[in-house]
Structure 1
Amino acid sequence: MSRLLRRIVAILMFRIDCRKLFLVCAVLTIGSILIQISSLPYPLTEWISPPHSAIASNKHLNTAVHLDKIHSLAVLVQPETVQDATVVVSLNSSAKQNQSVVISKKEGRVSQRRRERNGVKSITPPSSPYIIKKLPRRVERYLSSLTPDEALAFAKRDIENASLSSDDDPELYAPLFRNVSTFKRSYEWMERMLKVYIYQDGHPPIFHQPYLTGIYSSEGWFMKLMEENRQFVTKDPEKAHLFYLPYSAHQLRMALYVPNSHNLRPLSIFLRDYVNMLAAKYPFWNRTHGSDHFLVACHDWGPYTLKEHEELIRNTIKALCNADASEWIFIPRKDVSLPETTIRNPKRPHRNLGGKRVSQRPILAFFAGRRHGRVRPTLLKYWGDKDDDMRIYGPLPNRVSRNMSYPQHMKSSKYCICPMGFEVNSPRIVEAIYYECVPVIIADHFVPPLSEVLNWDAFSVIVAEKDIPKLKEILLAIPLRKYLIMQANIKKLQKHFLWNAKPVRYDLFHMILHSLWSSRLNRIQIPQPSS
C-alpha cells in the first residue's frame, strides 16, 4: 500500500506543474479563510478601525454659542445618538489590587464554602469591561465652546428630559433608586464632563493628609482617591465645575482642639482664615461666593467648625456624616449626606464583608453601644437585655462577647438597630449594609446617606424616636416577603458603599462624587428658550 502511495506522489510531482499546484493551494487557503471570517459575529474591520460618529442630516447642530438654543440642541443627546461611539475601559487594569488568583477549581470551591459558613464573602470587581459612552463629535465641539456653567445647563436639561432607558445597565438595580433612568443619565454626564479643581494651599496634617482608619475614615478615603484621580481632576481652574477644599475635620480636631476645653472656636477661626486667604489669593471664591466649592467632613464636629464664615455655611456644598436637618447647617438638596464607614485595615477595606443566610439569622434585632445621646437611654430602658428576640445592650458584655462577637451578632440578626448617639449619624448603618442586616434607623431629622438618589424604603426601616416602646411590634408587623426583599436589596446595595484602592464604577467614591455633581446641577438655572 505504501509503495502504491509513493508511486502516485511521484507521478503527480513529475506530471503536474509545481507552480500551478502552489497556486491551487493558495486559492483554497484564502477561500477557506474568507468563509470563516464571514461567519464571525462582527466584521473584521470593527477590530481594526474605530467606529465613526454620525449625526443624521435632520439633526443639524448649530455650533454657535447661544444658551437660548440649548433646548433644541438637547434633542441630539438621546440614548441611540450617544451610543454611536464608545470607549472601552477595563476594570481589571490593576490586577494586583482587584484580582484574586485561583490555584485550582477544587480549592476555590472549598474555600468559597468555608467563607459562606463563616458568613464572609469575597468581593471582586466586575470582570467585564464597562463602556463610557461618547457624544457625537459636533456635540463635543459645541460643549467645549461653552463655559462650565453653560455646559452644566446643557447637561441638566438633558437629564431632566431623561426617559426610561431600554439600555439597561447590569450594574444598577432599579428598586434601589428613586429614578434609575435619571441617575444613569446624570452619572453618564458626570463621567463625560465633570472637572474638579483641588486647591494646593494648606499644609499637612490638616490638609492633603488623608486619615484612612476608624469611623471617620470616609473623609480620608475621599481625599486620597480624589487627589489621585486623573479623570475628574483638572489643573486649570477655568475649566472646573467644582472646587475642592482638601482638609480633614478629624485632623483639624487632632491638631487644634485643646482636650476638655469644650471650645471649638479656634477650629472655626482656622477654617475662616483659610477660606479668606483663598478668596484674597484667587478670584474663584468671590465669583460665586463659594457656591461651586465643596468640602468633605465626617467628624461629628464637622458642621460646627464652619460657623465663623457665613458663606461657608450658607453657600458651600458640604458633604457631612452629621447630616442633621434640624440644626440649619446641613441643608437638604444642597448638601450631601456622607456615609460613615468604619475601616479597620486600609489595605483590606472589604475585610469581613458579608453575612449569613436568612435561615441562619435567629436574632430579630441587635444593638450594642454606649448610652450617650437622647435616644439610646430610651432604647435601653425599654429593651435593654430584656427579650431574647431583641438583643439590645449597652457596651457588649464580656459574658456575651465570649460566645459571639459584635460582627457575628450583626451577621446573625435580621434587623440591626442604628440609633443616634450625641449626633444623628451612626457607623452602624453602613456596618449593617456590609453584614447584610436590614438597618433600623432611629434618628429624627437625619438625612440618610446619598438619599438624593437612593430609595431607603427599599432596604431599611425608619422608626420615629417616639415609637421606641413599640419597636418589636413594628418589626414583627413587617411581612416576611417584604423583609426578604429588603435583605436581598441590601446585598445588591453593598457595591455602592465600598471603598476600593482603585475606584470602580458606581462604588462609594463615585457615588459621593455624583452627589456633589448633582448638588452643583441643582443650583444651575436653565435659560428658557426665546419665543
Structure 2
Amino acid sequence: LDEPRRLPLSSPLPASRPSVYHSPEAFAAGYAEMERSFKVYIYPDGDPKTFYQTPRKLTGKYASEGYFFQNIRESRFRTEDPDKADLFFVPISPHKMRGKGTSYENMTMIVKDYVEGLISKYPYWNRTLGADHFFVACHDVGVRAFEGLPFMVKNSIRAVCSPSYNVDFIPHKDVALPQVLQPFALPEGGNDIENRTNLGFWAGHRNSKIRVILARVWENDTELAISNNRINRAIGELVYQKQFYRTKFCICPGGSQVNSARISDSIHYGCVPG
C-alpha cells in the first residue's frame, strides 16, 4: 500500500497518541480545518409560549438542555447563512410544554407541525432527509415527545443525556450529552487516593434490570458502598455527595429515566465513573 499522504500541520498535536490515528498529522490538519470552517444554522424559534426560551437560571435536572441552547446560540460556529451550514439545529424543547400540562400526544403533534413547517419552507431537510439536522432531548419528556416522530428519530442526529438503548439510541449517529447539575453542592475532588476508602459506590432506586442485579450481587460486599435506595438525608447534610469523596470508582448504571448527573458528579468529585 502507498504511504498515507502527510498533510501540513497548522499547529502541533501535543496530546496525540500515534496508535489511535492512521495519521496523526492528517487528523490534526482535518481538526484544524473543522475549527476554521464548521458552521451550524439554527432555525427560527417557534411560538415563544410553546418552544424553548433560555431561562435566567440554568439549574436543576433540565439545566444541561438549557446550557446547550444557550451555548449554541452564542457559539462562534453559528452562521446566519443556511447555505454555508454543515449542520442544522432544530431549536425545539417539549420541556416548556410539559410545564403547561400539555399531553405527550399533543406535544408530539406540536413538534411535528413545527418540523414539517421547516421542511416545507426550507430546502435543506430534503437534501439529506434530515441526516444533517440535529436536536437535543436531555430528559424523559423530550424523549417521549419525539417517540412519535420516526422521521426525526431515525434520520436526524439526537443529542440525548442517556446513551441507553431504551430510548432508541442509535450509536452511529446519535450523541450522548453528559448531564450536569450546577452549581455543584461541594468543591471538586482531587488526587487524594489515600482518603478514598471505598472501592466502589452506588445509591439509587432499583428501577432497571441492571440496577436490580447490581444491588443483589454487591449490596453485602464490604469493599463497596451499595445502597438500593436513595440515601436518607436525615442522617446528615450532603451525605450522597460526600460518598463520592470517599470512593475510588463510582458506578453509574442506567435507570428507567433518561436524566442522570451521576457521571458528571463522579468526574467533579474525583471518582472514576464506571
Same fold judged by TM-score > 0.5? Answer: yes
Q: Which amino acid aligns with 1:369?
A: G
Match of 1:286 among 107, 121, 126: 126
For the pair 1:254 / 2:99, whether they are aligned, the reply is: yes
> Is 304-313 or 264-273 further displaced after alignment?
304-313
Shift of the alpha carbon at 1:360?
Answer: 0.7
How big is each residue's C-alpha offset from its partner over 1:394-438, in whole Å with a ceiling of 9 and x where there is no partner?
111346x42872211101101111121104763211211111111
Are 1:356 and 1:411, in contact at CA under 8 Å, matched by a contact in 2? Answer: no
Are 1:194 and 1:232, in contact at CA under 8 Å, matched by a contact in 2? Answer: yes
Q: Which amino acid aligns with 2:139?
A: H
Where 1:248 maps in the other structure, the secondary structure is coil
Shift of the alpha carbon at 1:292?
Answer: 1.4
Taking the TM superposition and a 5 Å limit, the aligned residue runs for 1:97-246 are 167-169=12-14, 172=15, 174=17, 179=21, 181=24, 184-204=28-48, 206-210=50-54, 212-229=58-75, 231-246=76-91
How big is each residue's C-alpha offset from its partner over 1:494-521, in whole Å with a ceiling of 9 and x where there is no partner?
xxxxxxxxxxxxxxxxxxxxxxxxxxxx
Taking the TM superposition and a 5 Å limit, the aligned residue runs for 1:5-404 are 77-79=7-9, 82=10, 167-169=12-14, 172=15, 174=17, 179=21, 181=24, 184-204=28-48, 206-210=50-54, 212-229=58-75, 231-258=76-103, 264-325=104-165, 329-343=168-182, 345=183, 352-355=187-190, 357-384=192-219, 386-393=220-227, 394-398=229-233, 401-402=235-236
Q: Which has the higher helix share?
A: 1
Shift of the alpha carbon at 1:287?
Answer: 2.6
Where 2:100 maps in the other structure, the secondary structure is helix
Are 1:249 and 1:299, in contact at CA under 8 Å, matched by a contact in 2? Answer: no
CA distance, structure 2, for counterparts of residue 309 and residue 254 of structure 1: 21
Shift of the alpha carbon at 1:354?
Answer: 2.4
Are 1:210 and 1:248, in contact at CA under 8 Å, matched by a contact in 2? Answer: no
Shift of the alpha carbon at 1:291?
Answer: 1.5
How big is each residue's C-alpha offset from its partner over 1:70-95, in whole Å with a ceiling of 9 and x where there is no partner?
xxxx969421xx35xxxxxxxxxxxx
TM-score (norm 1): 0.45
CA distance, structure 1, for counterparts of residue 237 and residue 259 of structure 2: 29
CA distance, structure 1, for counterparts of residue 261 and residue 17 of structure 2: 25
Q: Which amino acid aligns with 2:247?
A: S
Name 1:434's counterpart in structure 2. Answer: 268
Are 2:249 and 2:271, in contact at CA under 8 Å, matched by a contact in 1? Answer: yes
Where 1:220 maps in the other structure, the secondary structure is helix
CA distance, structure 1, for counterparts of residue 16 and residue 269 of structure 2: 19
CA distance, structure 2, for counterparts of residue 214 and residue 174 of structure 1: 38
CA distance, structure 1, for counterparts of residue 205 and residue 30 of structure 2: 40
Where 1:342 maps in the other structure, the secondary structure is coil
TM-score (norm 2): 0.83
Q: CA 1:234/1:277 → structure 2, altered by over 3 Å: closer, same or farther?
A: same
Where 2:143 maps in the other structure, the secondary structure is helix
Are 2:51 and 2:94, in contact at CA under 8 Å, matched by a contact in 1? Answer: no
Where 1:197 maps in the other structure, the secondary structure is strand
Q: Which runs of 5+ in 2 are unaligned?
A: none
Shift of the alpha carbon at 1:307?
Answer: 3.1
Greater Rg over alpha carbons, structure: 1
Q: Which runs of 5+ in 1 are unaligned?
A: 1-73, 84-166, 259-263, 441-531
Shift of the alpha carbon at 1:210?
Answer: 2.7
Identity %: 38
Are 2:8 and 2:29, in contact at CA under 8 Å, matched by a contact in 1? Answer: no
CA distance, structure 2, for counterparts of residue 439 and residue 325 of structure 1: 19
Q: CA 1:206/1:323 → structure 2, altered by over 3 Å: closer, same or farther?
A: farther
Shift of the alpha carbon at 1:241?
Answer: 1.0
Are 1:268 and 1:305, in contact at CA under 8 Å, matched by a contact in 2? Answer: yes
Q: Which amino acid aligns with 2:120?
A: A
CA distance, structure 1, for counterparts of residue 257 and residue 177 of structure 2: 14
Are 1:250 and 1:298, in contact at CA under 8 Å, matched by a contact in 2? Answer: no
Are 2:140 and 2:258, in contact at CA under 8 Å, matched by a contact in 1? Answer: no
Q: CA RMSD in A?
A: 3.0
